[in-house]
């Protein structure tokens, strides 16, 4: 039963202060994973959701950046590459971390955690750190048109998307060595290629050698990253209001980013990444281009066009959104971010559809839950068949299934499962999440 499985995965992947994405492939704490995991854990144990976010921000750098990996010192260096020795940096807390970032979805996670169980002390602790995260991006990554750049494909969260093929061709890879630990756990056909990894490591090395200051050969204004930034400002406005602070600066910042995205990255059908060095749009067919549907200030005509694109290029009515359009060159239904459906990206688009086209949102939610129920809580799914790929027992898949069931319900499960879905809507705090497994989830 999928709800029991979701709770089991989150319990088993908990490491005392954070949740690993998966035990074998991703044995440390990942930044945007922790945000999505907190959203689901807020339905189960808000205390654990708060701990997840506070643990991550405990490794925030002095400049405000939140590193994309916080390394667990109990995990051997050889268990993951590139590990702490490669990055060679520590946060002020002493934690070994990476030097790059990921989409700033954390303020949204903090707000949803607070909604599930209002705790002003939690907001007081996290709000200044969330603000510092945004300030880092404004100070170090913002271009003249108001958009934020990423400096590595890993910062997009969509590592090997075909959208990055063109800019990666210009990355020099001479004398780059690397170890593919991922292939010990996952079939090579479902992962980035060696050629991809050569470029990833070359970019990371160059960024490390710059002291994590210079952008290098990869400077991309990514729609998803900038949408996450704007969504964070909307969430920070709500948090500021709860804390008795002025929300207006956050709302102005969100509106400015929405305008910049619309004016600079919308090509008439889809939002596209832009090379910040040349100013040219990178023509692609990535699901990231649909995520501006999350923005409440998006012009209605633009939103309607995006929905038409989702129906035409991404087969939205089929139940799952591919990470890249099947109609576009470069699509691969099984290879990581080149086509498979990921629950976190589908969840973001679902959030953007709920108020605009609720019937389409319902179909997308049903598609995600059906895939998870039939294939298990996999890392990603074939968008046409629902077959699972990548890691098993994947934490954000489990977490967002809990959130979906709590808010949307689940028509494809037995009545007992639907009853649990109703209970998830009003879960209180538990001292031990394991107690919830025994008490609330039937065998």
Which residues are catalytically annotated? 159, 379
Q: Are 67 and 61 in contact (CB under 8 A)?
A: yes
Q: Are 97 and 71 in contact (CB under 8 A)?
A: yes
Planar angle of CA 85, 38, 389, nearest 5 degrees: 70
Mapping DSSP onto H, E and C, the string for 169-212 reads CCCCCCCCCCCCHHHHCCCHHHCCCHHHHHHHHHHHHHHHHCCC
Residue 35 CA: distances (Å) to CA of 17, 92, 112, 378: 14, 21, 10, 18
The SS3 assignment for 381 reads strand
Q: Are 193 and 124 in contact (CB under 8 A)?
A: no
The SS3 assignment for 57 reads helix
Give strand pairing partners of 274.
221, 281
Strand ranges (DSSP E) for 218-284? 220-221, 274-275
Count Cα atoms within 13 angstroms, Cβ side, for 360. Answer: 22
Q: Are 66 and 53 in contact (CB under 8 A)?
A: no
Residue 324 backbone phi and psi in degrees, to 5 = -145, 145
């Amino acid at each position: 039963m999928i709800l029991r499985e979701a709770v089991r995965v989150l319990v088993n992947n908990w490491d005392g202060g954070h949740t690993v994405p998966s035990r074998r492939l991703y044995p440390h704490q990942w930044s945007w994973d922790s945000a999505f995991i907190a959203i689901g854990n807020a339905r189960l144990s808000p205390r654990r959701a708060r701990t997840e976010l506070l643990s991550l921000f405990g490794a925030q750098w002095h400049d405000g950046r939140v590193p994309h990996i916080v390394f667990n010192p109990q995990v051997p260096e050889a268990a993951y590459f590139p590990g702490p020795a490669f990055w060679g940096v520590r946060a002020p807390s002493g934690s070994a971390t990476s030097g790059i970032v990921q989409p700033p979805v954390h303020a949204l996670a903090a707000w949803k955690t607070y909604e599930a169980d209002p705790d002003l002390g939690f907001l007081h602790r996290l709000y200044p750190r969330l603000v510092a995260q945004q300030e880092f991006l404004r100070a170090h990554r913002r271009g003249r048109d108001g958009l934020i750049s990423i400096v590595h494909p890993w910062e997009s969260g969509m590592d090997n998307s075909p959208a990055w093929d063109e800019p990666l061709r210009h990355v020099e890879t001479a004398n780059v060595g690397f170890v593919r630990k991922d292939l010990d756990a996952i079939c090579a056909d479902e992962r980035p290629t060696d050629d991809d990894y050569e470029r990833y490591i070359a970019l990371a090395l160059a960024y490390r050698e710059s002291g994590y200051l210079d952008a290098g050969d990869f400077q991309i204004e990514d729609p998803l990253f900038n949408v996450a930034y704007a969504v964070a400002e909307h969430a920070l406005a709500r948090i500021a209001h709860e804390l008795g602070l002025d929300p207006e600066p956050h709302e102005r910042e969100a509106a400015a980013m929405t305008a910049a995205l619309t004016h600079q990255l919308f090509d008439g059908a889809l939002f596209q990444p832009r090379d910040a060095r040349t100013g040219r749009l990178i023509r692609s067919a990535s699901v990231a281009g649909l995520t501006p549907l999350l923005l409440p200030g998006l012009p209605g005509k633009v939103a309607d066009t995006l929905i038409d694109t989702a129906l035409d290029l991404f087969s939205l009515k089929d139940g799952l959104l591919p990470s890249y359009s099947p109609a576009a060159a470069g699509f691969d239904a099984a290879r990581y971010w080149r086509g498979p459906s990921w629950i976190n990206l589908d969840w973001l688009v679902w959030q953007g559809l709920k108020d605009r086209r609720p019937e389409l949102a319902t179909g997308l939610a049903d598609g995600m839950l059906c895939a998870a129920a039939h294939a298990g809580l996999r890392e990603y799914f074939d968008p046409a068949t629902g077959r699972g790929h990548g890691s098993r027992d994947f934490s954000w898949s489990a977490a967002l299934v809990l959130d979906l069931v709590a808010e949307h319900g689940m028509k494809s499960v037995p009545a007992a499962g639907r009853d649990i879905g109703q209970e998830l809507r009003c879960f209180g705090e538990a001292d031990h999440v394991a107690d919830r497994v025994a008490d609330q989830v039937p065998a």
